[in-house]
């Protein structure tokens, strides 16, 4: 292990002790948008919905669920980067990556984004399809329809990264030929039931929602507003680090969570708690990888990223101080640079040609 990785491992251990207490104070998340209001908001004029104005298409998943897709850059570009968003978010969570990377790469790289089933503008997710094998199948469907040939780089955040691991386990042949690099941001191969998000969601309120969604959905429908108010703080509590100071960005994140159907949130919880894609890491180790995490991530703590890095071969380890789970939004420059390094390195290697 490199000296840098050892330092991050020590930090990960320290962060782990603080995780449970921090997540437990979920009510503080309601004040996120009001934090440090007296300071200048660096994102006050951002149009966080701009990605939905990009070139649009619908990919029909293998079971018939429509998946909303957006593209930037020419279909004839020599390389495509596909971005896979996280739990209870939507493709616009990649706002800063779409803005910066499209400008840097121009016509040389095509960017592809899509909403998971049950999220954003995609179709509803039947309860029995809210699992990682299905998310992997959805990514495969997007690749077949939108990127049928040519080299591909896959980048996933949180649940999106877990879905990429599921894809590697489901279709390892893709990583021998088409997928030339993978970026995993604020995610985990396993173990989130014991720390971070898993601990925060192990409470009677969430258990009651699980039962209601399955057996008495009209109760959830009738109390939809209350449901969001109870569950959203648990999901939002660790979104940002202690130095976060953008009310408009906080409102954007809160809106994404609030507009994710409560059925989607509850139905995917079991998949997240049971998640273990450790078997996918040897497949991912055959291509260049990048793993990134905020030091203050209490959803998928830093220790998870350090563990993945140790299991991967040609892997860039990126730790971001003063950042929570939404490091791609809170500190986009660091993540953009990491993605650019990943793509540049994979392109130089000549894989996928």
Q: How far is CA 17 from the centre of its chain?
A: 24
Q: From residue 335, how far is each of 7, 44, 102, 238, 317 by CA, in Å?
A: 20, 21, 14, 18, 11
Alpha helices in the chain (DSSP H): 3-24, 95-105, 132-146, 159-170, 174-177, 197-200, 204-215, 217-222, 224-236, 247-258, 262-274, 281-284, 302-311, 327-330, 332-349
Retrieve residue 9's tokens: 């491992």
What pairs with residue 58 in β-bridges? 68
Tokens 């399955």 -> residue? 214
pLDDT at 14: 35
pLDDT at 314: 84
What is the pTM assigned to this prediction? Answer: 0.86
Residues 6+ apart with CB under 8 A from 224: 262
Residue 102: give its domain's CATH number: 3.40.50.1820
Number of folded domains that form the chain: 1
Q: How many DSSP H helices and E strands does the chain contain?
A: 15, 8
pLDDT at 298: 87
The tens-digit pLDDT sequence of the chain (353 residues) is 555 555 544 444 333 323 323 333 333 343 444 444 457 899 999 999 999 999 999 999 999 999 999 999 999 999 999 999 999 999 999 999 999 999 999 999 999 999 999 999 999 999 999 999 999 999 999 999 999 999 999 999 999 999 999 999 999 999 988 999 999 999 999 977 666 555 555 556 556 555 555 545 544 454 455 545 655 666 666 689 988 989 999 989 988 988 898 889 888 988 888 899 999 999 999 999 999 999 999 889 999 999 999 999 889 999 999 999 999 999 999 999 999 999 999 988 766 55
pLDDT at 23: 35
pLDDT at 261: 87
Q: How far apart are CA 188 and CA 171, in angstroms?
A: 19
Residues 6+ apart with CB under 8 A from 61: 67, 117, 137, 138, 141
Closest listed residue to residue 111, CA positions, set 88, 91, 132, 140: 91
What's the domain range around 60?
3-349
pLDDT at 254: 87
């Amino acid at each position: 292990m490199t000296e840098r990785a050892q330092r991050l491992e020590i930090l990960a251990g320290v962060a782990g002790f603080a995780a449970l207490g921090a997540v437990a104070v979920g009510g503080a998340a309601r004040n996120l948008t009001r934090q440090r209001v007296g300071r200048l908001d660096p994102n006050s004029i951002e149009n966080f919905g701009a990605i939905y104005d990009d070139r649009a298409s619908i990919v029909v998943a293998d079971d018939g669920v429509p998946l909303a897709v957006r593209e930037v850059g020419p279909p004839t570009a020599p390389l495509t980067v596909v971005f896979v968003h996280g739990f209870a978010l939507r493709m616009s969570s990649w706002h800063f990556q779409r803005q910066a990377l499209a400008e840097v790469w121009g016509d040389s790289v095509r960017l592809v984004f899509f909403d998971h089933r049950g999220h954003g503008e995609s179709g509803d997710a039947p309860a029995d399809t809210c699992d990682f094998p299905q998310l992997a199948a959805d990514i495969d469907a997007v690749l077949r329809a939108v990127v049928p040939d040519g080299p591909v780089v896959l980048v996933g955040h949180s649940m999106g990264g877990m879905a990429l691991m599921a894809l590697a386990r489901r279709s390892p042949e893709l990583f021998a030929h088409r997928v030339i690099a993978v970026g995993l941001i604020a995610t985990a191969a396993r173990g989130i039931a014991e720390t971070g998000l898993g601990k925060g969601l192990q409470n009677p309120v969430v258990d009651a929602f699980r039962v209601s969604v399955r057996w008495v959905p009209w109760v959830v429908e009738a109390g939809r507003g209350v449901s969001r108010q109870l569950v959203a703080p648990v999901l939002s509590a660790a979104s940002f680090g202690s130095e976060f100071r953008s009310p408009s960005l906080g409102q954007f994140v809160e809106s994404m969570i609030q507009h994710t159907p409560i059925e989607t949130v509850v139905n995917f919880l079991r998949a997240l708690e049971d998640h273990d894609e450790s078997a996918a890491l040897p497949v991912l180790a055959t291509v260049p990888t990048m793993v990134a995490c905020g030091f203050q991530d209490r959803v998928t703590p830093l220790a998870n990223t350090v563990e993945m890095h140790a299991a991967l071969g040609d892997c860039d380890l990126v730790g971001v101080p003063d950042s929570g789970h939404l490091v791609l939004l809170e500190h986009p420059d660091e993540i953009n640079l990491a993605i650019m390094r990943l793509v540049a390195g994979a392109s130089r290697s000549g894989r996928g040609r």
